[in-house]
């Protein structure tokens, strides 16, 4: 495919050690020859390919030095975009990268749109659509496990599975075609049986992929967790105990009036995303300070509540109120401060709220925290989560396509079962094939492609 030459700042804006301006397209070398000067070489020729070359970016108009840089030229097609690529490593900071980008644009490149480098990698056939989406998921990953899942998809695990399924569907279609083309070979039971077997196999595999969606979401976004309890029961101490032993990633979410702090704690491979941690820490009490309505809201938003009670005090009305709130929610209950004289035990709680996991803890002494961690893992994953061995669907678009494909193959199976004329379910199988193809981008419209890449960041 023929494209114009694009350029963008590839690094995040702000002060940093280095910044990178990336150029991709036929004119990349041309442009860099115009603006890059080195004492050692006159041009980035083939001998210099894939080597970092030291020199200066100089404005060809007034010969003024723009910055001191290291530049690398990578000849297509073995590059990110499959086109010729030049990357200019300049000093980090807003000014040098912007100046260099402007100069590159003045000398023949066009400003790249969001995700355009990756889009070219897709359009030029280096990666498929699911892999391109994995690139974006990698960049935006906030959890280690989310990153690992996406890396796996970038390597092509999901794509391969989808391709295999489409092959199976194609061979089913071929069987149907053969039966239609030669009506004198009356469509035998064995053909129906084969189609039925094929259909069921495809159905099961799609269903298996859909089964991973929940895990995929948790690994990607974290298990949304609310820690509840009256003041002084030990919520902050629990948070601190969990944080001490487990790596945490803290991100600020800009764009809200008050910056929300999201805290991710990695527990036995499960990322917990603690909702409104600031609330817990600063106000010392979720329910009292933020009110029952907000507490309810938080509970509804969450995948899990960890509710803490103080074993050294009798249950109060407030405790009972909290119990009511978590009745229908996935919850773990901690009976904390068991190192003190106990006024209540597990039974006092379970008689109000049966069927919940209750753990005795002394957060201060560190007792029971490991049981909490094991319980968490057992609750959300049966067995180890081996990301590298499994295909895990973690992208909403992929899930939706799989759901459509599942419906198609279900319809086909129904029709086969009912012994309907063979060409009647041909269309279902074809739809299934197409819907799966939209995951990898084999059968996808321009509008969908546009929509996917629009959400990328500039420079990727
Ligand atoms: P929060 O208001 O629920 O966040 O409770 P904090 O974590 O601030 O704890 C309140 C008080 O209880 C602090 O003085 C803690 O040191 C103490 N505390 C927390 N956990 C335990 C525990 O397991 N045993 C004892 N004896 N004290 C604890």
The predicted-structure confidence for 239-250, as pLDDT tens digits, reads as follows 888 887 665 555
For the domain that residue 399 is a member of, what is the CATH number?
1.20.120.430
Is the same domain home to 232 and 371? Answer: yes
The predicted-structure confidence for 73-109, as pLDDT tens digits, reads as follows 999 999 999 999 999 999 999 999 999 999 999 999 9
Q: Which atom of ligand 1 is nearest to the CA of 362?
A: 23
Cα distance between residue 118 and residue 80, in whole Å? 8
pLDDT surpassing 80 at residue 353: yes
Higher pLDDT, 28 or 329: 28
pLDDT surpassing 70 at residue 1: no
Q: What confidence score (pLDDT) does residue 387 get?
A: 57
pLDDT surpassing 90 at residue 429: yes
Is the same domain home to 83 and 55? Answer: yes
Is the same domain home to 288 and 435? Answer: no
pLDDT surpassing 60 at residue 18: yes
Is the same domain home to 107 and 48? Answer: yes
Q: Is the CB of 441 under 6 A from ligand 1?
A: no
Find all residues with CB under 8 Å of 92, minimum gap 6, and list them: 11, 14, 15, 16, 17, 18, 19
How far, in Å, from the CA of 384 to the mean position of ligand 1?
33
Q: Is the CB of 284 under 6 A from ligand 1?
A: yes
| Dmax (CA) of the chain | 88
Q: What confidence score (pLDDT) does residue 270 get?
A: 83
Per-residue tokens: 392: 């895990």
Is the same domain home to 261 and 296? Answer: yes
| Structural contact between residues 299 and 226, judged by C-beta atoms closer than 8 angstroms | yes
How far, in Å, from the CA of 234 to the mean position of ligand 1?
4
Q: What confidence score (pLDDT) does residue 252 get?
A: 47
Strands 260-267 and 270-274: antiparallel
How far, in Å, from the CA of 360 to the mean position of ligand 1?
14
Convert 63-87 into a string of H (helix), E (strand) and C (coil).
CCEEEEEEEEEECCCCCCCCCCEEE
pLDDT band at 13; cut points 50, 70, 90: confident
The predicted-structure confidence for 277-319, as pLDDT tens digits, reads as follows 444 444 444 445 555 676 777 788 888 999 999 999 999 888 8
Is the same domain home to 225 and 373? Answer: yes
Cα distance between residue 185 and residue 175, in whole Å? 12
pLDDT band at 389; cut points 50, 70, 90: low
Per-residue tokens: 375: 């319980």
Atom 18 (ligand 1) nearest CA: 234
Least confident of 206-220, 277-291, 330-344: 277-291
Q: What confidence score (pLDDT) does residue 70 get?
A: 97
| Structural contact between residues 20 and 98, judged by C-beta atoms closer than 8 angstroms | no
Domain count, the chain: 3
Q: Is the CB of 235 under 6 A from ligand 1?
A: yes
Q: Which atom of ligand 1 is nearest to the CA of 240?
A: 7
Percent of the chain with pLDDT over 70: 88
In order, the DSSP letters of 232-289 are TSSHHHHHHHHHHHS-EEEEEETTSSSPEEEEEEEETTEEEEETTHHHHHHHS-HHHH
- Give SS3 for 199: helix
Q: What confidence score (pLDDT) does residue 237 get?
A: 86
Average pLDDT over residues 108-131: 96
Helix (H) or strand (E) holding 399, with range, is helix 396-417
Average pLDDT over residues 345-364: 94
Is the same domain home to 208 and 222? Answer: no
How far, in Å, from the CA of 274 to the mean position of ligand 1?
19
Q: State how far the alpha carbon of 190 is from the alpha carbons of 174, 195, 203, 284, 420, in Å.
A: 15, 9, 20, 69, 14
Q: Is the CB of 452 under 6 A from ligand 1?
A: no
Average pLDDT over residues 110-135: 96
Question: In degrees rounded to 5, what are phi and psi of residue 359?
Answer: -125, 130
Domain boundary among 380, 409, 440: 380
Domain boundary among 348, 380, 412: 380
For the domain that residue 278 is a member of, what is the CATH number?
3.40.50.300
Q: Which atom of ligand 1 is nearest to the CA of 238?
A: 7
pLDDT surpassing 90 at residue 228: no
pLDDT band at 218; cut points 50, 70, 90: confident
Would residue 78 count as lying in a domain? yes
Would residue 124 count as lying in a domain? no
Q: What confidence score (pLDDT) does residue 253 get?
A: 47
The predicted-structure confidence for 28-82, as pLDDT tens digits, reads as follows 999 999 999 999 888 888 788 999 999 999 999 999 999 999 999 999 999 999 9
Would residue 141 count as lying in a domain? yes
Is the same domain home to 355 and 418? Answer: no
Domain hosting 169: range is: 134-212+393-453
Is the same domain home to 166 and 36? Answer: no
pLDDT band at 336; cut points 50, 70, 90: very high
Helix (H) or strand (E) holding 105, with range, is helix 94-106
Would residue 460 count as lying in a domain? no
For the domain that residue 16 is a member of, what is the CATH number?
3.30.1360.120
How far, in Å, from the CA of 205 to the mean position of ligand 1?
49
Q: What confidence score (pLDDT) does residue 277 get?
A: 47
Q: What confidence score (pLDDT) does residue 332 get?
A: 94
Is the same domain home to 157 and 86? Answer: no
Query: Residues of 404-433 as b/e, b for ≥16 C-beta within 10 angstroms?
Result: bbbebbbbbbebbeeeeebeebbebbbbbb
Q: What confidence score (pLDDT) does residue 430 get?
A: 97
Question: In degrees rounded to 5, what are phi and psi of residue 58?
Answer: -125, 135
Would residue 159 count as lying in a domain? yes
Find all residues with CB under 8 Å of 304, minimum gap 6, and list them: 223, 224, 225, 226, 272, 329, 330, 331, 332, 376, 379, 380
Q: Which atom of ligand 1 is nearest to the CA of 365?
A: 23
- Give SS3 for 227: strand
Atom 17 (ligand 1) nearest CA: 234
Would residue 25 count as lying in a domain? yes
| Pocket mutation for ligand 1, best pick of 229, 231, 233, 234 (most atoms within 8 Å of C-beta) | 234
Q: Is the CB of 231 under 6 A from ligand 1?
A: yes
Cα distance between residue 130 and residue 209, in whole Å? 14
Whether residue 395 has a cis bond before it, omega within 30° of 0: no
How far, in Å, from the CA of 378 to the mean position of ligand 1?
27
pLDDT surpassing 80 at residue 422: yes
pLDDT surpassing 90 at residue 220: no
Q: State how far the alpha carbon of 318 is from the alpha carbons of 187, 201, 231, 287, 309, in Å.
A: 71, 53, 10, 9, 11
Q: Is the CB of 230 under 6 A from ligand 1?
A: no
Task: With CA atoms as reference, report the closest residue to 299 among 258, 330, 264.
Answer: 330
Q: Is the CB of 240 under 6 A from ligand 1?
A: no
Q: What confidence score (pLDDT) does residue 284 get?
A: 47
Is the same domain home to 231 and 366? Answer: yes
| Pocket mutation for ligand 1, best pick of 237, 282, 336 (most atoms within 8 Å of C-beta) | 237
Atom 24 (ligand 1) nearest CA: 337
Higher pLDDT, 344 or 247: 344
Q: What rounded mean pLDDT belongs to the chain?
A: 87
Would residue 128 count as lying in a domain? no
Would residue 327 count as lying in a domain? yes
Is the same domain home to 27 and 71? Answer: yes
| Structural contact between residues 85 and 78, judged by C-beta atoms closer than 8 angstroms | no
Domain boundary among 349, 380, 411: 380
């Amino acid at each position: 495919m023929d494209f114009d030459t694009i350029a963008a700042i590839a690094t995040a804006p702000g002060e940093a050690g280095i910044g990178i301006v990336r150029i991709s397209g036929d004119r990349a070398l041309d442009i860099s020859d115009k603006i890059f000067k080195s004492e050692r070489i006159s041009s980035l020729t083939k001998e210099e390919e894939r080597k970092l070359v030291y020199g200066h970016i100089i404005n060809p108009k007034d010969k003024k030095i723009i910055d001191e840089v290291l530049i690398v030229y990578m000849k297509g097609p073995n590059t990110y975009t499959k086109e010729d690529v030049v990357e200019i490593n300049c000093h980090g900071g807003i000014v040098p990268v912007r100046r260099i980008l402007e100069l590159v644009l003045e000398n023949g490149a066009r400003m790249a749109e969001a995700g355009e480098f990756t889009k070219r990698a897709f359009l030029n056939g280096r990666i498929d659509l699911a892999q391109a989406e994995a690139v974006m998921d990698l960049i935006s990953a906030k959890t280690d496990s989310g990153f690992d899942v996406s890396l796996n998809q970038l390597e092509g695990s999901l794509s391969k599975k989808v391709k295999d399924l489409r092959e199976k569907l194609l061979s089913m279609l071929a069987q149907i075609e053969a039966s239609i083309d030669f009506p004198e070979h009356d469509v035998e039971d064995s053909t129906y049986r084969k189609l039925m077997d094929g259909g069921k196999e495809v159905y099961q595999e799609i269903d298996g992929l859909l089964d991973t969606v929940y895990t995929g979401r948790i690994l990607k976004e974290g298990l949304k967790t609310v820690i509840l309890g009256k003041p002084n029961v030990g919520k902050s101490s629990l948070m601190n105990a969990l944080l001490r032993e487990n790596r945490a990633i803290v991100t600020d979410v800009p764009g809200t009036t008050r910056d929300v702090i999201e805290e991710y704690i990695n527990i036995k491979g499960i990322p917990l995303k603690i909702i409104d941690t600031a609330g817990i820490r600063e106000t010392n009490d979720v329910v009292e300070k933020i009110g029952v309505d907000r507490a309810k809201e938080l509970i509804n938003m969450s995948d899990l509540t960890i509710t803490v009670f103080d074993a050294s005090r009798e249950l109060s009305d407030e405790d009972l109120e909290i119990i009511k709130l978590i009745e229908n929610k996935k919850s773990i209950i901690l009976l904390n401060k068991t190192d003190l004289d106990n006024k209540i035990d597990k039974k006092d709680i379970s008689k109000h709220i049966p069927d919940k996991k209750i753990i005795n803890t002394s957060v201060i002494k560190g007792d029971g925290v490991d049981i909490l961690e094991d319980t968490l893992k057992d609750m959300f994953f049966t067995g180890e989560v081996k990301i590298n061995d499994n295909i895990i669907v973690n992208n909403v678009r992929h899930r939706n396509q799989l759901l459509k494909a599942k419906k198609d193959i279900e319809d086909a199976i129904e029709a086969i079962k009912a012994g309907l004329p063979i060409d009647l379910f041909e269309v279902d199988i074809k739809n299934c094939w197409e819907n799966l193809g939209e995951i990898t981008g084999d059968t996808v419209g321009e509008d969908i492609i546009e929509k996917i890449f629009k959400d990328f960041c500039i420079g990727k």
